[in-house]
Every structure is written in structure tokens, then in C-alpha cells.
Structure 1
Amino acid sequence: MKMKKVLAGLLVSAMSMGVLAGCGSSTNNTSNTSNTNNTSNTASKEDSTAQEEKTAPGERDATIRLSWWGGDSRHEATQKAVDAFMEKYPKIKVEVEFGAWSGWEENIATQLMSKTAPDVLQINWNWINSYSSTAQTFLDLNSVSDILDLSQWEESILNQCKVGNNLQAVPVAMTGRTFYWNESTFEKAGIETPKSLADLMAAGPVFQEKLGDKAYPLVMGEYDRMIFLVYFLESKYGKNWVEDNKVNYTADQIKEGLDLLAEMEEKHVIPTLQKLAGDGADSIDKNQNWIEGNYAGILEWDTSASKFIKATPDSKIVVGDYFKDLGEYQGGFTKVSMGFAIDANTKYPEECALLMQYLLNDAEGAAIMASERGIPASKAAYTVCETGNLIDPNVAEANGKVMSWCQYSLDPKFEDNALKSNPDGVYYKIMSKVSYGQMDTATGAAELLKQVDEFLAK
């Protein structure tokens, strides 16, 4: 079910001080002049006192909430950075809220609707379009640019987070999806990691024969399959998934992608969605079959490398290559990975901006955060991470491949909850029905085209 856009207003009030001076008869001119001067002097002193009493960010007591999703390694780094921030600014208390992605957006959407959202939020890029399409939900960060140094981001990247002239978030990193392979498992199967689709398809039967029915060269959930479908279509036909607010492919073309996914299940390349659901994990990095190396490949965001690698410490995880035999084009898309935004209803915008400045631009904070959310888009943070050798080499390699290969852009609505949520999103329902045998690929393709176009038209 599509989340309704949040209607939240930012109320800005301005206070001014007026000075009243009385006018008397000519016989009291001297006295009145003296009184006026005294009043003026008093007002001047009051103005001066008010300016002195206006505290700089970090010098008044404040409690703010920060929320994010991710894996354990991201949680650890962010909590450590928050602790360091509170040590540096002891008057600011930061309460943290974090968890896995599953169900996260639904929770945040409810908070935004009820105006109980955290003060600072890690957001997906599409949330700007979904929840703040008129800049009503998130604070315009231009209003705190004296604290948050916006010059650290390229203007072209900031523009992707604007609604009109309102800057709704600052990007953490640019990202795309690429393959990661468990080289240790492939070695046990006696084959190299796949360099092409043909290699991958051939690996399925080998895994089944050498390692047993529980072993697969690749695992993909519902949303992963949708991204793979688009990657396949872009590689073969050389055009964006969506153009002019409509799907840019025919039902027959989409069917080709669904047929490929069905063949991958049939040839033991990927587990069925029924098998994956039976594993009982809310994310692949927490799936015991990934941890034990039975699932030997993923198609994931380059920003997510750390959590998958740390989840299986006894395995060697390597970054894969894009498949050149899918078609003559370089399929795949890049996007703003995620951003940080400030809730428009916060009581402490300056303190929120100070926290974001620390996490994203400050040398100390950036060093702690490192590349847990990808290669930093902030120039200051990138410099800190590069000079300090703090960028995860796997993340750096993956991001380099993504940015040099992918030639297509992502429609802002592609990640809308109405399309990708589990279990009610269009992608989830159709991918599940096809995988469970409740819908053939022709019907699935027609339904996917129809339902996505209907959503885009709303």
C-alpha cells in the first residue's frame, strides 16, 4: 500500500523589539529628551544582553534523536561517532534509534505522519519525493548552512536532494549495485567466480553436484530480482527503466527478464523465494546460509559490503565484475545512496546541524564513520578517509566499478514503498507469485508493467 505523503509544516516566527518614546509639551523638552535617550540606552543594553545570551550551537542543553538502518558494522561505527560527539558537546544528548532495513521505512513513515519522527534521520533518496514533495517534511538545510558546511558537496549532487530551492537532505554517498562472490565457496566447488552470465548459469549444477542441494552460487530476494531484471534489460536494450513517468519497456521485453530468473531457479543458480523465506532471516547478511557460505553470491549496494563481509569472517569475499554477455550496453544505475535530513518539526535545528556537521564533515567524526555508508560524498570526509587509509578496500573497489560501468539513471519513484515494500509492494508480490508458481512469466510481465505504470500515473 502506498504511503501517503506527509503533510508537515515548518513554522518560523520572528521576534522584534520596539522602543516607545513619549512626546510632551515644550516645557518638558529637556526631560523628554533625557527620557528618550535613557530609553534608547536601555534598549541598546537589552539588545546587547540578548545577543550575549544567544548561545552558540553546542552551548545549551538539548536532547535530539538520531535514527538510521543498516548492519551491525554500521551500527557500531555510528554509535561510536555519536558517543564522541556527545563527549565533545556535553550539553547535547543524542538518543539513537537503529535497526535492520526490514520494516524500517514503514516505521519512519508512521512517525512522520504522527509528527513523532526523530530530529535527524538517515533517509533513502526517494523519501524526498515520497514524503516531502513540497518540502513540507524536512528542514531546508540552507537555513543552517552557517553550521553545516554545504560547500563540501558538489552542487550537482546537492541538486539531487532539492525540492525547488529547498535542500531536503545532504547525500552521504553515491552508490549502485554490483556482485560480490564468496571465493572460498567457489574454490570448494572447484570453479572460479563468475565473469559472465554464462559462467554463473554453469555454476548452478556444479554447486548442486559438488556441494549439495543447499548450496547456490547466487541468492536474490524479491527486490534484488527486480534490480537484476532492470540490469538485464538495460544491458540488452540500452534504455532507462522509466522515461517520462512511464515504463520504457514492453511486456514481452520484461518477460525475457522474468524468464531468465525462472531459468536461474530451475538450474540451481538461485534458491526459490520459498526456500529463502524458509531460512527465517530478515536480511541476507543474517541468513545462516550466507554466514556458512552456502549462498556464495549477492547483488548488493557497494555501500553494503562491510556487513556482508563481516557476517562470514571465515570466507574470502571478492567484488565481482559486471557481465558483458547480457548485451551490448553497460546496464546498471547509480543513485544517491542515502542522505541525512532534519525533521522540520525539530526544536533544535542548530544542534541537529551540528551533529550532521560532525558526522559528515568533521575530521574526528568522519574518521569514525569511515566508509560504513560508502565512499563519502563530502570532500572533507573523503580527504580524511583517503589520507588515513580508512576506506574499506572492498567498498572502494566496488564503488569504482559501479561508477565506471553503470550508464543509466534511477527514477526517483523506483524505490517507493508502494513498489518495493515487503510484502505489499508491487515488486514483491509479482516476484513472489512467479517464483511460487502462482503466475506465469507472461502474466507477471504484463502485471508488472501495468501496476508500475498505474503507480507512476498517480
Structure 2
Amino acid sequence: MNKTARGAKTVAIASLAALTISACGGGSGDDDENVNLRFTWWGGDTRHAYTQEIIDAFEEEHPDITISPEFDSWEGYWDSLATQSAARDTPDIMQMDLSYIREYIENGLLHELDQVETAAFTDQLLDTGSYEGSLYGMPVGSTSLTMMANEAVFEDAGVEMPDDDTWTWDEVAQTAAEISENSEAYGQARPFNDAGLGVWLRQHNGTNMVTEDGEVAWDPEDVVPYFEMLGESLDSGAIPSGSQVNEDRAAALEQTMIATGDAAMDVWWDTQVIVLSSNEGVQLTPLKLPSESGDAQNAQLYYKPSMFYSVYEGTEHPEEAQLFIDYLVNSEEAGQLQQLERGIPGNADVREAIRDDLDEAETTLLEYNEGLEEVVADAPPLPPEGFGAVQEIIWRYEEEFLFGRVSAEEAAQRMHDEIEGALG
């Protein structure tokens, strides 16, 4: 999903909300018998439709609880949620993202989840929604950063599919250049993006993007080689120009180069393979990201929570709100309706319940994701307040470098300083 830089605005509004939080806002209970809860999420039409079906099923089981749905696209969701929080009108239940959850926790906007059943979830996944020993975000599912590969483009270029257990960053660049030279498609659609740079840093410097304390964990000189790698790929024709990269990032998922067969490889979260493979004649295969050593055990891949469900601290009905979250993540009926659309279900029992109903592409995705258990490392620290702006900053400097407007050293320094300012 395209994530625009809304971090500074969200921080300011959420901070205001933390100072003015009260029982105002959230849902309402007009009488002792009926509870109304507002539930907000981001997503597309498919998500909106099945989420309403889940709501209907929950309300049938709990006729004394009414769920009022509110939804938006990613682009407008965080502005809307921040504005509602500032006005003390925060929905009772909200879909929450890893980039923002710590910000909302530290501003006192989220209620501790102490009544949601967590037995079918791994401790590692639950830790991603926890802060100082308390759970504030119930993980919905998991996803992992992946190199999507179009085998048909590889075949057309006469290039063999790589062994993703042993390939290196240099091999990615060489393979992409060879495909660009021998076909009408680009070998790689874009740079490795913010999450890809994060994995690159974990491999090359042993650092994450940020420290446990929420500070920038790397120095500008640490990422100069990353930009130099992009420059070599640009010179070889392995990746397109800055303007083409910018255009591709602005396109709908189905219209991106990897989804239309105009590129052989691109980095995405693994659960996006379904949408990216939706065009006729396009079938993408998820591959592990490369490693520096040529051993996937050292690739520093990790499971990222696809999203969370959280409860507003000022809700009048925390028990009922948690009851609904429990249904969302633990009910097999909800799992059947959702399947993999919100990520690989974090609940192991739900995964088993839906396994036989998945199509071939979905089964491949599930098996790929589960197969990473042998190589994944610990997830990065919980991102700090202001982290919502980091993706846009990294994307912008990748493009500025590809446009030739800054050198590798200038891109690294300015990107570092701007991220440091956003987190500060």
C-alpha cells in the first residue's frame, strides 16, 4: 500500500488527544441492554464487503451489541483517525498498523487488551503488539518481506530462476541486468524500498532501522553502499529511471510493473502476491530476499504483523470491544470469511480451518510463509512516534538518487538527518 508522509500531523494530533482523553467519544450505550461500538479500518472494497459479513455474524451471536462500521483508504485513514482522536471522538475499535501503534500507546489512546484469548498465537507475534509488558494491539496475521518473481519473464529472457536459499545481493543485480538486456521487461521494477533497506541494514551492519529507545540506529556512511548498489543497477539497466520508479509507486497494485509483466522482480510483502497476480497471464512466485553471505539463515528475514486490532482507552465498553476483537481473530467463521486478505492468520487453529478452502495461489502463499519459520530472525523493535513518515523519506531519497540530483553520500546524509528529525 502507498503510505504517504502523515507522521508529523498524526503525532501532533495524537499528542493533543492524549492530553484531553476522557470518556467522551467512542461508542455509546443508550440503555443497559444495548451497546453500540464503532469499528474503523482501512482497505479496499473486498475487505469492506467481507468485514460487514463478519460484523453481521457477530451481531447474530450477540444481539445486544451493535457494530457501526467506518472505513477509509490507507491514504485518508490516519488523518481521519488523528482528527477524531483530537476531537475526543475516537472509534471504540480500530485497525492499527505497526508504524503507528507505539505512537498511539505512548499518547495514552489505547486500552490494554487483557480479555482477548491469545493461546493460539505465538509469543513472537504477540510481542509485536506489546509495550512494557502489556498487549495493546492484537495481531491479526503475519507477513514477510519477499522478492516477487515472474517466472514467465525469466523464461522469456532465457534466465534461470534463482535459488533463494543461496542467492546474494550481487546475484540479484546481475540477474536483473541480464533480464533487462534479453527481454522487453525490466529485471527489477524498483529499489528495495524502506523495509528492504531495513533488511539490508540488518545483514550488513547488524542494526535495525531504529533502536529499542526509538532513535536512528545507523550512521549515514552505513547506507552509502546501498545507494551505490542502486547506482550500479541503474547504470546496467537492471532497474528503471527515477521517473519510472515514481510512476510505478503511484500506480494501483494491479497496474504496477510487476503485476503487468513489465518487470521480472520486485519487493513486496508476501500477502500482496494474490492481488499482484490477479491480471490474466501473470503468476508471481514469492522468493526469499537475498543475503550478504549466500545463506538464507543469515538473511535476517522476520515476520511482521500484517496489522493489529486495538481498543480506544476512552471507550465506555472495553469488555464488549475486546469481545468483538476476540471474535475477529479467534472465530473460525470470521477466518473463513477473511481467509488471507488481512495476512496469514496469526491464530494457528484458524489457519488449519481455512487451509482446505484456499486456491492454488493462496496455498502457495501460505506454505511459503510457514516455510520461513526455519530462517526468520527476531522482528525489529517497535517503531517510535513519528515513524509513519520514514517510508516516504526513504522512497524520496531513493528516487532523488536515481534522478541524479544527489550523490550516494548526499542521499545517505540527508535521509538520515530527515528521519532523525521525524523521530525527534
How does the TM-score come out when normalised to structure 1? 0.75
User: Structure 1 residues 443-452 or 232-241, which shifts more?
Assistant: 232-241
RMSD value, Cα: 3.3
Superposition pairs of residues 84-233 of structure 1, within 5 angstroms: 84-89=57-62, 92-133=65-106, 136-142=108-114, 145=115, 148-155=116-123, 157-164=125-132, 166-195=134-163, 196=167, 197-212=169-184, 215-220=185-190, 224-233=192-201
SS of alignment partner, residue 187 of structure 1: helix
Q: Contact 2:150–2:258 (CA<8 Å) still a contact in 1?
A: no
**Separation in 2, partners of 1:207, 1:61:** 59
Cα 1:365–1:274 shift into 2, 3 Å: same
- Displacement of 1:61: 5.6
Q: Aligned residue for 1:314?
A: 281
Distance 2:394 2:320 in 1: 39
Deviation at 1:76, TM superposition (A): 4.5
Measure how far apart 1:194 and its partner are.
3.6
User: Structure 2 residue aligned with 1:374, among 339, 343, 347?
Assistant: 343
State the partner residue of 1:305: 273
For the residue of structure 1 that corresponds to 2:106, the secondary structure is coil
Per-residue deviation, 1:282 = 4.5
Bigger drift between 245-254 and 381-390 goes to 381-390
Distance 2:131 2:249 in 1: 40
Secondary structure of 1:270's counterpart equals coil
Query: Cα distance, 1:294 vs. partner?
Result: 0.9
Letter in 1 for 2:142: M
Q: CA deviation at 1:210?
A: 4.1
Partner of 1:404: 374
CA distance in 1, matches of 2:87, 2:248: 35
Aligned counterparts of 1:414 and 1:61: Cα–Cα separation in 2: 34
Answer whether contact 1:139 1:344 (CA < 8 A) is retained.
yes
CA displacement at 1:252 relative to structure 2: 2.5
Cα deviation, residue 189, structure 1: 2.3
The separation in 1 between residues aligned to 2:305 and 2:239, in whole angstroms, is 28
Cα distance in 2, alignment partners of residues 10 and 318 from structure 1:
49
Q: Kindly indicate whether residue 389 of structure 2 is the aligned counterpart of residue 419 of structure 1.
A: yes
SS at match of 1:178: strand
Q: Is the 8 A contact 1:65 1:120 kept in 2?
A: yes
Tell me, in whole angstroms, the C-alpha distance in 1 between the residues paired with 2:50 and 2:385: 26
In 1: Cα distance, 2:35 partner to 2:383 partner: 39
Whether 1:436 and 2:406 are equivalent positions in the alignment is: no
CA contact (8 A) 2:125 2:139 kept: yes
For residue 257 of structure 1, give the secondary structure of its aligned residue in structure 2.
helix
- What is the CA deviation profile of residues 306-331 of structure 1, one whole-angstrom value per residue up to 9, with x for unaligned ones? 22223x24212111133245667323
How far the C-alpha of 1:124 sits from its partner, in A, is: 0.9
- Secondary structure of the residue aligned to 1:67 is strand
Query: Helix, strand or coil for the counterpart of 1:340?
Result: strand
Q: How does 1:274-353 map to 2 (within 5 A)?
A: 274-279=243-248, 281-283=250-252, 285-310=253-278, 312-325=279-292, 329-353=298-322
**Aligned residue identity for 2:268:** E
**How far off its partner does 1:341 sit?**
0.8
Deviations 1:325-384, CA, capped at 9 Å, x for gaps:
566732334333321012233344444333322221112112212222222222442342
Seen in structure 2, the aligned counterparts of structure 1 residues 111 and 370 have a Cα distance that, compared at 3 Å, is same
Query: What amino acid sits opposite 2:136 in the alignment?
Result: Q
Question: Bigger shift: 108-117 or 176-185?
Answer: 108-117
Amino acid of the residue matched to residue 445 of structure 1? A
Aligned equivalent of 1:38: none
TM-score by length of 2: 0.80
Shift of 1:66: 2.6
Contact 2:344 2:351 in 1 (8 A): yes
CA gap of 1:243–1:88, structure 2 versus 1, over 3 A, is closer
Higher mean alpha-carbon deviation, 233-242 vs 313-322, is at 233-242
What amino acid is the match of 1:319? P
C-alpha contact 1:374 1:395 (8 A) present in aligned 2: no
Aligned-partner Cα distance in 2 for 1:233–1:421 = 15
What is the DSSP-based 3-state SS (H/G/I as helix, E as strand, rest coil) of the residue aligned with 1:111?
Answer: helix
Match of 1:392 among 362, 368, 383: 362
Write the letter of the residue equivalent to 1:138. Answer: L
Secondary structure at 2:188's aligned position in 1?
coil
CA distance in 2, matches of 1:404, 1:132: 32
Q: CA deviation at 1:389?
A: 5.8
Cα displacement string for residues 187-222 of structure 1 (whole angstroms, at most 9, x for unaligned residues): 22222334434443234444444433xx2232236x
For residue 335 of structure 2, give the secondary structure of its aligned residue in structure 1.
helix
Q: How far off its partner does 1:386 sit? A: 4.3
**SS of the counterpart of 2:243?**
helix
Distance 2:367 2:350 in 1: 18
Count of aligned positions? 398
**Unmatched segments (≥5 aa) in structure 1:** 13-52
CA distance in structure 2 between the partners assigned to 1:296 and 1:103 by the alignment: 31
Q: Output the CA distance in 2 between the equivalents of 1:282 and 1:414.
A: 29
